[in-house]
A and B are shown apart, each in its own frame.
Chain A
Amino acid sequence: MTTIFDLPVSYFGLQFLIGLQNGAFYALLSLGLAVIFGMLNVINFAHGAQYMMGAFLAWLLLDIAGISYWWALLLVPLIMGLLGVVIERAFLRWLYDLDHLYGLLLTFGLVLIIEGLFVSVFGSSGLPYEKPQALAGAQRIPLAMITGNERDMMMIPLYRLWIVAVSIVCCFGTWYAIERTRLGSYLRAATENPALVRSFGINVSVLITLTYGFGVALAGFAGVLAAGVQALTPHMGSNLIIVVFAVVVIGGMGSILGSIITSFGLGIVEALARIAYPEASGVVVFAIMIVVLLMRPAGLFGREN
């Protein structure tokens, strides 16, 4: 077996894949956060809780109604999107003229309520979700092409591969919708100058509602993906969202493609850190955030203004 620093090559491969998988979640969540912030001027602190709700909803659908994972992938984003529409209409729209802080406080309050409810109903010990049979296995990949050693093999869990692939498709779809379609041009324009876009006859407040619904749906979708790879706890979102906020700060708010690249890049950086010095993997993103804030306060891909 070929080794590097006494570690088998397959170990590096697996860590790399885990890095990509984490990057996939960062990308799905940071995209939603960035799109919501751009249109609503609200820092959606509830994004993590909405992701957690997505995961639990998938679990509930399966457990109570016997609805499969595949249907959950479709239904959960729809339900979460509707919930987002309700939250925007009922609460957030009153805050747009105020400082960012108010949106952050309101959504933070939502987190406390939602997580509190879920803890009291489900407890915090963690629920298992049965991922679908089709994605349960692992694929044997020969590494001889890379190492030249016929005995080098790597087992790639299909589900992790699936997460990465689906996330890339979703991210590209979102990028395309925002950067290349007519509706996307309305969104970009409304982010810059909503009053003028409204004066052209476009109903910006509906766009804003749909944007929030879409962002929440994306979080719910990520939650369904996550359900197959980890035990479900009411705090699974809070743990993740802190890192995602750092990812958004590093990438900057200006560019969709920038957020996607930053997310996957940081997922891989974390994986490399885990290989080199496992204790550092939890803080490397925040260390990078500090450096980026010092060198480029608007983020790597952000626009200064």
Chain B
Amino acid sequence: MADSAEINASRGDTVLQIQGLQAFYGESHILHGVGLDVCEGEVVTLLGRNGAGKTTTLKSIIGMVSQREGSIRYRGQETIGLKSNRIARIGIALCPEERGIFSSLTVEENLYLPPVIAEGGLSIAELYQLFPNLEERRHTRQGTRLSGGEQQMLAIARILRTGARLLLLDEPTEGLAPVIVQQIGRVIETLKARGFTILLVEQNFHFASALADRNYVMEDGKIVAVVQRNELREKEALLQEYLGV
């Protein structure tokens, strides 16, 4: 695995440091010792086939699995023993794979739902600039009446307001039209430019690799490869083997 001290030196402080992470859903043991680092301002992807443990890794970081062991440090603070609502308060936010738009809330209520936990979030005006569709549809009675693409944008937008600085995005392009995928790609670039740190789970390798500073490949609940941005070409064969792309 790449020397994390070296990465830290070149990219600034480690925001997220995971070591020996084990995670369980009830009886089933999903993660078997995951380790990864994400540095300030980086976009890091988790790649891998279905069932490799990518979503579980994100959910473990935010505390949404029934049992976690090992170490997950956020800016040096150990979070493995914290409850999900405490973890959110220190600056981590999840955009879940199923998007999690609430049907009993209006679009605007969905947007305002996550409480502001720190300064530095995007203002509503900035969010509507980033996602013009949401402004047009903000009075829609049921959040789930939006199209799939709009729901995805809403799911991203609502965690940008809160001041969270580490964003966990779980397959934001899944099932969306190419033009929307491009739009989401531009949003992620904008967020990176604004200094957000992003851990991105993706099936769409070409989408992910264009954005990522570093790619972790997962298989059977473990990290099996790390590919830096400048190594994409030389490690193409390896990635193909793991991902079947």
Residues of A near B84 (CB, < 8 A) are 195, 198-199
Q: Identify A192's interface contact among B62, B103, B112, B162, CB under 8 A.
A: B103
Scoring A185, A201, A202 by chain B CB atoms within 10 A of each residue's CB, the highest score goes to A201
Q: Does B51 contact A (CB under 8 A)?
A: no
Residues of A near B112 (CB, < 8 A) are 182, 185
Q: Does A200 contact B (CB under 8 A)?
A: yes
- How far apart are A276's CB and chain B's nearest CB, in angstroms? 39
Q: Identify A201's interface contact among B100, B102, B103, B117, CB under 8 A.
A: B117
Q: Identify A200's interface contact among B103, B105, B115, CB under 8 A.
A: B115
CB nearest neighbor in A for B103: A192
Q: Does B88 contact A (CB under 8 A)?
A: yes
- Interface code B91-134, partner A: CB below 8 Å = 1, 0 otherwise? 00110100010111100010011110100000000000000000
The answer to whether B83 touches A198 (Cβ under 8 A) is yes
- How far apart are B156's CB and chain A's nearest CB, in angstroms? 14
| Contact surface of A with B, Cβ cutoff 8 Å | 182, 185-186, 188-189, 191-193, 195-204
- Interface code B63-89, partner A: CB below 8 Å = 1, 0 otherwise? 110000000000000000001111111
Residues of A near B88 (CB, < 8 A) are 198-201
- How many chain B residues touch the partner (CB < 8 A)? 26
CB nearest neighbor in A for B94: A199
The answer to whether B64 touches A189 (Cβ under 8 A) is no
The answer to whether A201 touches B113 (Cβ under 8 A) is no
CB nearest neighbor in B for A193: B100
Residues of B near A188 (CB, < 8 A) are 102, 104-105
Bound together, the chains give a CA A189 to CA B159 distance in angstroms of: 15
Residues of A near B94 (CB, < 8 A) are 196, 199
Residues of B near A189 (CB, < 8 A) are 102, 104-105, 113
CB nearest neighbor in A for B144: A192
Bound together, the chains give a CA A193 to CA B97 distance in angstroms of: 14
- How far apart are B170's CB and chain A's nearest CB, in angstroms? 12
CB nearest neighbor in B for A195: B64
Q: 10 interchain pairs (CB within 8 A)?
A: A189-B102, A193-B102, A198-B83, A198-B84, A199-B63, A199-B94, A200-B88, A200-B162, A201-B85, A202-B115
Residues of B near A197 (CB, < 8 A) are 113
Task: Pick the 4 closest A-B CB pairs, nearest first.
Answer: A201-B88, A200-B114, A188-B104, A198-B84
- How far apart are B142's CB and chain A's nearest CB, in angstroms? 11
- How far apart are B87's CB and chain A's nearest CB, in angstroms? 8
**Interface contacts beyond A198-B85, A200-B162: sample of 19 additional A-B pairs, CB < 8 Å, sorted by A:** A185-B105, A185-B113, A188-B104, A189-B102, A192-B102, A192-B103, A192-B104, A196-B100, A198-B64, A199-B64, A199-B87, A199-B88, A200-B88, A200-B114, A200-B115, A201-B85, A201-B89, A202-B85, A204-B85
Bound together, the chains give a CA A200 to CA B93 distance in angstroms of: 7
Bound together, the chains give a CA A201 to CA B90 distance in angstroms of: 9
Scoring B85, B89, B112 by chain A CB atoms within 10 A of each residue's CB, the highest score goes to B85
Residues of A near B117 (CB, < 8 A) are 201
- How far apart are B5's CB and chain A's nearest CB, in angstroms? 31
CB nearest neighbor in A for B155: A196
Residues of B near A198 (CB, < 8 A) are 64, 83-85, 88
CB nearest neighbor in A for B65: A195
The answer to whether B109 touches A201 (Cβ under 8 A) is no
Bound together, the chains give a CA A77 to CA B115 distance in angstroms of: 29
